Amino acid sequence: MTVKKAPIMRNKLRVEDVLKLVRKNIVQMKPYSSARDEFKGEAEIFLDANENPYPTGYNRYPDPLQWRIKEKLSLLKHVQPEQIFLGNGSDEGIDLVIRAFCEPYKDSIIITDPTYGMYAVCAALNAAPLIKVPLTSNFDLDVESLLDAVTNETKVIFLCSPNNPTGNLLSREKILRVLDQFPGIVVIDEAYIDFTSSASFTELINSYPNLIVLQTFSKAWGLAGLRLGMAFGAKEIIGVLNKIKYPYNVNIQTQEIVLKALDNVNVKENAVREIIEQRKQLAQELLTLSITEEVYPSDSNFLLVRVKDAPATYQYLMERKIIVRDRSKVTLCKNCIRITVGTPQENRNLITALKNL
């Protein structure tokens, strides 16, 4: 089969152009309208949603569009509330983007290699052909190869920056080249953006209607157990994601706890400062060990470390109830382990164990 290459041109897209990329059946579908979608405002008696009327603290459905959280986030992120999507972890956003734009068995997505594994999983779930483009030897974008891989059927490119599992930021200049030259959806996953001084790409969502930025409450905010992810983009594109999400995708308890966290941003910022300091110290300590061959630069809350024998190191640590990730089978990561930055005591215990290896 001959693969038709897509023409590459500088980005002059309008929102109207991007909306043409949405699957036709999704454009035509009528979304489910929940009771809480239809009613807006304050009331004393709710007899519209077939809820149990006796209070348990959770007998009422949550706000389906989480407006109170979005209003606070809009001030923190300098975007409009309508430019924010909230979902069950970033994974829901990843899944919905593919579902919205990719016709099964036809429209492809491009990912870099190595990168976060859920892009490939969601592509498989949605029967979207997957194209992998390797990163360079220093874990940066190979823009020419990336754009050369684009075909007329390519709808979405996923870029993870800072990247997982390598930990580094991708070149901002190279990402901008992709945004300028690719006419489809560009998703920039910034799950670890809080651990770097680099500016977020959320500041560009008004300039690039095809840009979607993912962030999460799981890392810097310390709320992984709540499963709340964020997506930022043009309000029309966010509207598409809201159209196809499940009606009550973020539960009441998650919304309540996140609202309190947003009132105490200093707690998150203090944790981030401590993690960055510990990251620096841990990297220095790891470099003194005889098993360490390289500690890669990190803009995240983890370190990618090349050791003499990653599988054996992983097994040794696991036997001592210290769990890291063996990434040795991942592209460009032979004999690498990924170590999350822990508390000062956890990091000391790790180093002590490795010294005895």
Sign of the dihedral through C-alpha 288, 289, 295, 300? negative
Residues 211 and 254 in one domain: yes
Q: Which of 122, 128, 75, 90 lies closest to 213, judged by CA?
A: 90
Residues 244 and 278 in one domain: no
pLDDT of residue 27 exceeding 70: yes
Residues 130 and 212 in one domain: yes
Give residue-wise pLDDT tens across range 165-209: 999 999 999 999 999 999 999 999 999 999 999 999 999 999 999
CATH number, domain of 188, equals: 3.40.640.10
Least confident of 36-50, 229-243, 258-272: 36-50
Among residues 211, 228, 262, which one ends one of the domains? Answer: 262
Residues 242 and 301 in one domain: no
HSE (CB half, 13 Å, CA atoms) of 173? 0
CA distance 347 to 69: 34
- Band of the pLDDT at 1, cuts 50, 70, 90? very low
- Band of the pLDDT at 12, cuts 50, 70, 90? confident
Residues 229 and 86 in one domain: yes
- Position 155, amino acid: K
Q: Domain for residue 78, yes or no?
A: yes
For the segment 19-35, the average pLDDT, to the nearest whole number, is 93
Question: What is the per-residue pLDDT for 11?
Answer: 63
Q: Domain for residue 319, yes or no?
A: yes
Question: What is the per-residue pLDDT for 259?
Answer: 98
For 336, the domain range is 266-355
| C-alpha distances in Å from residue 37, one per residue of 27, 45, 62, 234 | 19, 16, 11, 21
Q: Domain for residue 255, yes or no?
A: yes
Residues 290 and 228 in one domain: no
- Band of the pLDDT at 2, cuts 50, 70, 90? very low
| C-alpha distances in Å from residue 82, one per residue of 3, 126, 127, 164 | 38, 26, 30, 29
Other CB atoms within 10 Å distance of the CB of residue 348? 14
Sign of the dihedral through C-alpha 84, 88, 94, 98? negative
User: What is the total count of domains within the chain?
Assistant: 2
Q: Domain for residue 127, yes or no?
A: yes
Residues 127 and 144 in one domain: yes
Q: Domain for residue 1, yes or no?
A: no
Question: In this structure, are residues 125 and 95 in contact, taking their beta carbons and an 8 Å threshold?
Answer: yes
Give residue-wise pLDDT tens across range 150-161: 999 999 999 999
- How buried is residue 212: exposed, middle or buried, by Cβ count under 10 Å (0-12/13-18/19+)? buried
Least confident of 30-39, 76-85, 268-277: 30-39
Among residues 229, 262, 295, which one ends one of the domains? Answer: 262
Enclosing H/E stretch for 229: strand 229-232
Give residue-wise pLDDT tens across range 229-263: 999 999 999 999 999 999 999 999 999 999 999 99
pLDDT of residue 212 exceeding 50: yes
CA 187 to chain centre: 9
Residues 188 and 319 in one domain: no
Angle (CA) 301-227-19 rounded to 5° is: 100
Q: Domain for residue 3, yes or no?
A: no
CATH number, domain of 276, equals: 3.90.1150.10
Q: Domain for residue 27, yes or no?
A: yes
Residues 285 and 326 in one domain: yes
| C-alpha distances in Å from residue 268, one per residue of 263, 296, 334 | 11, 25, 34
For the segment 22-38, the average pLDDT, to the nearest whole number, is 91
pLDDT of residue 267 exceeding 90: yes
| C-alpha distances in Å from residue 72, one per residue of 200, 255, 263 | 18, 12, 9
pLDDT of residue 94 exceeding 50: yes
Question: In this structure, are residues 240 and 230 in contact, taking their beta carbons and an 8 Å threshold?
Answer: no
Residues 231 and 306 in one domain: no
Q: Domain for residue 7, yes or no?
A: no
CA distance 37 to 16: 26
Question: What is the per-residue pLDDT for 4?
Answer: 56
CA distance 223 to 228: 8
Name the average pLDDT for the chain.
95
Residues 166 and 122 in one domain: yes
Other CB atoms within 10 Å distance of the CB of residue 115? 25
Give residue-wise pLDDT tens across range 305-326: 999 999 999 999 999 999 999 9
Q: What is the pTM of this model?
A: 0.95
CA distance 222 to 216: 10
pLDDT of residue 8 exceeding 70: no
Percent of the chain with pLDDT strictly greater than 70: 97
Q: Which of 117, 123, 148, 151 lies closest to 2, judged by CA?
A: 151
DSSP, collapsed to helix, strand or coil, labels residue 307 as strand
Angle (CA) 223-77-38 rounded to 5° is: 80
Among residues 262, 290, 309, which one ends one of the domains? Answer: 262
Residues 246 and 158 in one domain: yes
